[in-house]
Structure 1
Amino acid sequence: MTYAVDDRHSDDPDSDGPNSDDPTTEGRNAGAVVTAEAEPGIRSRFLPRWWYSRWWLSVIIIFAGARVITTTMLLVLASVQGKNPWTGAQPSYWDYASIWDGTWYKIIAYWGYPSQLPLQTNGHIAQNAWAFLPGYPFLVRGLSEITTAPWEYVSVIVSLAFGLGAALVFYKLMRIALPAGTSMFAVVLFCIGPVSPMFQVAYAESMFIFLLALALYFLVRRRYALLFPIILVMSFTRPSGLAFALLLVMHFAWRWWRARRDNEPFPLRDQVLVGAAAVFSGLTGIAWNLIAWGATGYFSAYTETELAWRATYIGYAPLLPFTAWIQGGNWWLGAPAGAIVVVLLVITFALVMATRGVRRLPIDLRFWLIAYAVYLLAVFFPQSSTFRLLMPMFPLLGVIALPKSRIYRVALVTVFLAAQWGWLLICWGVDGYDWTPP
């Protein structure tokens, strides 16, 4: 049976329909009535009407099912995991989900940050806790104190809660521009993606992705005043302040240009709020550097701590913006092949951003993709953690979800699940001296 449902007038009280209150001209143009017949894939043929009218329940079911699949994968790996620097052989799920950076977060939660930076025998700063921000570990510690539950339990439960929240916000974010069926399939991809295990391990990514999705939603809806507290917490959860500041600068420039070209309103109040949010985000983006300096007395404590991780690959070198990818490419592939591949990746990204599918996303989501890509290109050294650091580019899942072919969608789910298993094998499982951290 096929249901003809006008998404803007469904029995879901929270269903706005695509772009129903999007203030941009572009949003209004994309906000045509969408019916179930326009979604001939999973929506109209396989699932009852309540699946979409109670969208939040649908998202919860999808998220829960995805987590069952990932939990099964992690338990299988744990059953064959040997003794490693963090656990004994065949660890429990809770212990296994708290390895790698989870141990750093636990150290921060209970012992804080060192006032004296550890040094290696060559005099360079060694890897230490200053590379990790305090938002997630301090929250987990607080909840652990309140509940008296162990860190391993609380850290995973907090990640699960934020992961579910992120999935719910992500659906609403996609619904601004995309029909219900496409948005829901994008949620499926969001929940089963190759690095989606981050939603149920002791990492800060789950909390960060929730905050980022919420900030992007409020930005697209132009609820600027709500951005300030989110930016503050987000910037002390994962490094993001500078990238989000660049996004806000782009947003300001876009609205200013549209106001002069098309006479679209850009009230003084909005100008002040966006400008202030951009400055605030920029300040929070450098705040951790200043805090580390104040606590250790060493000006570049944070940046040199971060550089200690890439020293394993290329040795110690100063941080020069926009050089790390060239260095990494040449290390992995040799010169000049590595540099050529990096240039080709940049060109490919630019071409993808110009495609029709990407242009269906709200302009602010496209600005975020560009801003975050520029940030990664400027400061990040490519290695096995690259896959995890690409998580904030999740708006692209809405583009990947656009084709309605049943064969395409089933194949894509299969590929995502296989990639998730491959990522766990390569990055999460520990095999001796493992140089592929997640």
Structure 2
Amino acid sequence: MAHLALSATRRWAKAPVAVRVAVVYLGARVVTTVFLVIAASLSTSSSRFGAEAGIIDFVLGWDAQWYWLVAENGYPTDLPLTDSGDVAENAWAFMPVFAYAAKGIGVLLGSWGAGALLLSLVAGYLACLALHRLLRDRIGNSAATWAVVFFAAGPIAAMFQVGYAETLFLLLLFLALDATTRRTYAWLYILIPVMAFTRPGVLAFALFLGLHGLLRWIRRRQDPLTGREIAHILALGALATLSGFAWQVIAGIATGDPGAYLATELAWRQHWITGGVDGFIPFEGWIQASQFWFALWGMPQWWGPIVLVLSVVGAAAALLFSSQVRALGADIRLWSASYLLYLLAVFFPQSSTFRLLLPLSPLWGAVAVPRSRLWRVGVLAACLLGQWFWIYHVYALGSTFWQVP
């Protein structure tokens, strides 16, 4: 028996990466499917999906409806308004690449939903391959494979099987990070614009490129920096910045309202802020939300900003001093810091917070670096438990704005 186990282990280690990742990914998707089936059976008439919910309802649920609306009707030229005269939730908050790519695939499969599901599944598998490639030279094949396990089976793994743009964006992001770390900058001229019109977040990549260039300049004696590379980094930073603001400009031109995009994004905060939202102020969202949540939990509101500051300091310390995180290399740490700063600047933390942390998935490598098998199995168990908890609450029980995935 021991000989058979050893033989199987050796065969697994020698199998092509694409095969090993495929086995991990398919196994994770089976588990997620089981969770979704159970959640559908537990859905009641009080749920958004009703007592007769099925998996296809979940695939097309929540924000997937907005992507479908974009694919079918495009974007409004007249912004919808609430009874109070504020801009209402509308399609401008959702980028076009996923919506129209799913529509194109759906033409062949018979429906937008089928196209969206296939696109999410395939992009998810390719994202797993890209994540393994990004990590393997830093932490080794085994640890990189475990990082893929945690990523594919993580608490938000339902995103691999619903009509959201997340997996497509993650694929593009991992490829962009890998291209940056390998100094194959030319690929970024394609990846950055597509990222920018897939999902918000490319401004964080612009900041990352700036920090990457600064670090390369500081280390230029140990790591030569050519004039050609300097030109690429500067041009790509400008491209990422322009791409990051392009959707705001397009929305403004199409609607005749220069603030159309920001007003649309702020429309989702109306549910959370008593008295409405006056305008966008960077970093204000997290302060407001920390006060909101602590008040909701029956604790003093002033605790919220204090806990927020401590959390930021803790995240910074982990990125700077944790040996596991440092093993991932400077570029992954710089990306993580850039994206966290971006979230702090623009996001209002609510039920979608965990989903919006998915671009930090390369940090699974720090969790997977060589440790005991018991540790890794324990992390996987925690991932699966978190996945069920999330699916149960946003799909089986999902009915209101604070349960949006």
TM-score (norm 1): 0.87
- 1:284 matches 2:251: no
CA distance in 2, matches of 1:60, 1:179: 18
- Aligned partner of 1:240 in structure 2 is 201
Per-residue deviation, 1:404: 2.2
Aligned AA for 2:189?
F
Change (3 A) 1:63 1:196: same
**How many aligned positions are there?**
396
- Aligned partner of 1:397 in structure 2 is 364
Picking from 173, 178, 187, the partner of 1:217 is 178
Equivalences for 1:184-195 in 2 at 5 Å? Answer: 184-195=145-156
Picking from 82, 102, 112, the partner of 1:151 is 112
Picking from 253, 259, 266, the partner of 1:307 is 266
Identity between Structure 1 and Structure 2 (%): 40
- Aligned partner of 1:228 in structure 2 is 189
Runs of 4+ in 1 over 6 A off after TM superposition: 43-46
CA distance in 2, matches of 1:328, 1:238: 23
- Aligned partner of 2:288 in structure 1 is 327
Question: Aligned with 1:162: secondary structure?
Answer: helix
CA distance in 2, matches of 1:330, 1:44: 55
- 1:121 matches 2:83: yes
Per-residue deviation, 1:50: 4.1
Question: Aligned with 2:139: secondary structure?
Answer: coil
Per-residue deviation, 1:84: 7.0
Question: Aligned with 1:394: secondary structure?
Answer: helix
Equivalences for 1:6-155 in 2 at 5 Å? Answer: 47-83=9-45, 87-145=49-107, 147-155=108-116
Question: Aligned with 1:96: secondary structure?
Answer: helix
Change (3 A) 1:286 1:233: same
- Aligned partner of 1:11 in structure 2 is none
- 1:295 matches 2:262: no
Change (3 A) 1:108 1:320: same
- Aligned partner of 1:421 in structure 2 is 388
CA distance in 2, matches of 1:279, 1:319: 23
Picking from 328, 345, 350, the partner of 2:311 is 345
Per-residue deviation, 1:90: 2.1
- Aligned partner of 2:298 in structure 1 is none
Aligned AA for 1:92?
G
CA distance in 1, matches of 2:148, 2:138: 14
CA distance in 2, matches of 1:95, 1:436: 16
- Aligned partner of 2:342 in structure 1 is 375
Question: Aligned with 1:331: secondary structure?
Answer: helix
Q: Comparing both structures, which one devotes a greater share of its residues to helix?
A: 2
Change (3 A) 1:431 1:46: same
TM-score (norm 2): 0.94
CA deviations over 1:56-97 (Å, ceiling 9, x no partner): 100000000000000000011112223478655323322221
- Aligned partner of 1:28 in structure 2 is none
Say if 1:242 and 1:282, in contact at 8 Å, map to a contact too: yes
Greater RCO (Cα-Cα under 8 Å, separation 6 or more): 2
Q: Considering only aligned residues, what root-mean-square deviation do their CA atoms show, in Å?
A: 1.9
Change (3 A) 1:434 1:299: closer
CA distance in 1, matches of 2:122, 2:146: 21
Question: Aligned with 1:177: secondary structure?
Answer: helix
CA distance in 1, matches of 2:196, 2:150: 26
Aligned AA for 1:133?
M
Identify unmatched segments of 5+ residues in structure 2.
Answer: 296-300
- 1:257 matches 2:218: yes
Change (3 A) 1:330 1:432: same
CA distance in 2, matches of 1:385, 1:44: 43
CA deviations over 1:272-301 (Å, ceiling 9, x no partner): 011100000000000000000000000110
Change (3 A) 1:359 1:432: closer
Aligned AA for 1:216?
L
Question: Aligned with 2:183: secondary structure?
Answer: coil
CA distance in 2, matches of 1:84, 1:163: 31
Aligned AA for 1:398?
G
CA deviations over 1:230-284 (Å, ceiling 9, x no partner): 111111001122100000000111111111xx35311111110111000000000
CA deviations over 1:393-435 (Å, ceiling 9, x no partner): 0111000011421211111111110000011122233444452
Change (3 A) 1:323 1:264: same
CA distance in 2, matches of 1:88, 1:161: 29
- 1:336 matches 2:302: yes
Aligned AA for 2:244?
G
Picking from 142, 163, 184, the partner of 1:181 is 142
Aligned AA for 2:229?
D
Say if 1:220 and 1:362, in contact at 8 Å, map to a contact too: no
Say if 2:47 and 2:399, in contact at 8 Å, map to a contact too: no
Picking from 353, 364, 367, the partner of 1:386 is 353
Say if 1:241 and 1:286, in contact at 8 Å, map to a contact too: no
Change (3 A) 1:116 1:437: same
CA deviations over 1:288-330 (Å, ceiling 9, x no partner): 0000000000011001111011111112231100111111101
Aligned AA for 1:306?
E
Change (3 A) 1:372 1:89: same
CA distance in 2, matches of 1:169, 1:48: 23
CA distance in 1, matches of 2:42, 2:26: 25
CA distance in 2, matches of 1:394, 1:285: 21
